[in-house]
Structure 1
Amino acid sequence: MGVTLMHEMRLGCELPGVMALAYLGDARHSLYVRRMLVSRGIYKSGDLNAASLSYVTAEAQAKMMRKIEPELLEDEREVYRRAANSTHLNKPKHRSVADYRAATGFEAVIGMLEWIGDNERLEHLLSLASDEIDKEQENENDTED
């Protein structure tokens, strides 16, 4: 069953279910991260894969969700809530349930924005989210020096 939200009223159509949105969001977020890393001059596939892990794990996505949550609009919050509370989630193997649920919600919000074509909003949230991981990495590098 799809989600009924303000975006639907603007589009005049029903959104896919939250798990389908999370599926789309996972792909869109992964593409964003890959483009970002290549634009930073990382070209070797092994280096790209290693660098992308800082952004695409459930733990990283949960951190990003906490960063963008205050900025979410009402319908984005509703999609997040529905996805995070979905009974269709698998049990995570190596992560906390809370991180896994937050990551699924993050992916669903990104998927919704991708589905409706709100690229400006999508880029804003993805940039804000990835900045959180960048700052964390800078802090880790500063403590190693």
Structure 2
Amino acid sequence: MDKKICGADLPSVAALSYLGDARHSLFVRRMLVLRGLTKSADLNREALRYVTAEAQAKMYEKIADLLLPEEVDVFRRASNSTHLNKPKHASGKDYRYATGFEAVVGMLEWLGDTERLEFLLEKSHSEDLEDNENDSEN
């Protein structure tokens, strides 16, 4: 990340998480369409496997060691944020990790750092993207 990031230059971590949720959802949808799914019921069912707090927490764990200091800071602030609601279908840890993951994605989207964003999303979905490649080879 070439730019020095100042917290004042960014929206709140809640807003970054909101933006990151949408951007991650778009990445997942594109991945599923590339996999060849065409029926909306199938697309929606498969997308749910990737957009849950539990799934996003696992994605964070895949990329945690790759995060730059600025990204770690945004993750930490988002995952410790007092705005978090009590999760209904996830552990508190998974919900915090998912919120942090979304905030990092949102920050990169906000800054327009598409190369870094795509790199982290591809790493967080590495097995899923390999499945896409294997499906297209058969």
SS at match of 1:16: coil
Q: Which residue of 1 aligns with 2:4?
A: 6
Q: Which residue of 1 aligns with 2:134?
A: none
Q: Which residue of 2 aligns with 1:22?
A: 17
Residues 62 and 100 in structure 1, CA contact (< 8 A), matched pair in contact too: yes
Q: Which residue of 2 aligns with 1:96?
A: 91
Residues 7 and 116 in structure 1, CA contact (< 8 A), matched pair in contact too: no
Q: Which stretches of structure 1, 4 residues or more, deviate above 2 A after TM superposition?
A: 5-9
Distance between the aligned counterparts of 1:130 and 1:57, measured in 2? 14
1:130 CA displacement: 1.1
Tell me which amino acid in the other structure corresponds to 2:4.
Answer: M
Percent identical residues: 65
Matched pairs, number:
128
Tell me which amino acid in the other structure corresponds to 1:70.
Answer: D
| Aligned Cα root-mean-square deviation (Å) | 1.8
Distance between the aligned counterparts of 2:37 and 2:51, measured in 1? 16
Tell me which amino acid in the other structure corresponds to 2:36.
Answer: G
Q: 1:12-45, CA deviations, whole angstroms, 9 ceiling, x for partnerless residues? A: x710011100000000000010011101111100
Q: Which residue of 2 aligns with 1:110?
A: 105
Residues 113 and 119 in structure 1, CA contact (< 8 A), matched pair in contact too: yes
Out of 59, 66, 75, which is 1:71 matched to? 66
Distance between the aligned counterparts of 1:19 and 1:106, measured in 2? 12
Distance between the aligned counterparts of 2:75 and 2:51, measured in 1? 17
Distance between the aligned counterparts of 1:20 and 1:54, measured in 2? 23
Contiguous gaps of at least 5 residues in structure 2: 132-138
Structure-2-length-normalised TM-score: 0.88
Contiguous gaps of at least 5 residues in structure 1: 138-145
1:53 CA displacement: 1.3
1:6 CA displacement: 2.5
Q: Which residue of 2 aligns with 1:60?
A: 55
Distance between the aligned counterparts of 2:53 and 2:36, measured in 1? 25
